[in-house]
Amino acid sequence: MLLEIAVNDDFVEPTIETLQRIARTGTDGEFGDGKVMVLPLVDAIEIGGSQRGKGAI
């Protein structure tokens, strides 16, 4: 399964912490629990509206 989640800078760490908490198997986690990749988002454009950048996220 692949999840793609776009958040503003203020929400990067809280999102990572939440994903780690809910996706971890048991208290220590196990091989295969998955990974979180953090990539820069160059821009976001709302197709159906006029928002661009942070407002489109």
**Predicted confidence band of residue 54 (pLDDT cuts 50, 70, 90):** confident
Q: Could you tell me the sign of the dihedral formed by the alpha carbons of 27, 30, 32, 38, in that order?
A: positive
Question: What tens digit of pLDDT does each residue of 9-22 get?
Answer: 999 999 999 999 99
Q: Is residue 3 included in any domain, yes or no?
A: no
CA distances (Å), origin 30, targets 1, 9, 26, 46, 51: 17, 29, 8, 38, 41
Q: Is residue 49 included in any domain, yes or no?
A: yes
Distance CA 51, CA 8 (A): 14
CA 33 to chain centre: 16
- Residue range 29-33: mean pLDDT, rounded: 89
Q: Is residue 51 included in any domain, yes or no?
A: yes
The range of the structural domain enclosing residue 26 comes to 9-56
Please give the mean pLDDT across all residues of the chain: 91
Q: Is residue 35 included in any domain, yes or no?
A: yes
Q: Is residue 23 included in any domain, yes or no?
A: yes
Q: Is residue 22 included in any domain, yes or no?
A: yes
Distance CA 42, CA 44 (A): 7
Per-residue pLDDT at 10: 93
Q: Report the number of distinct structural domains present in the chain.
A: 1
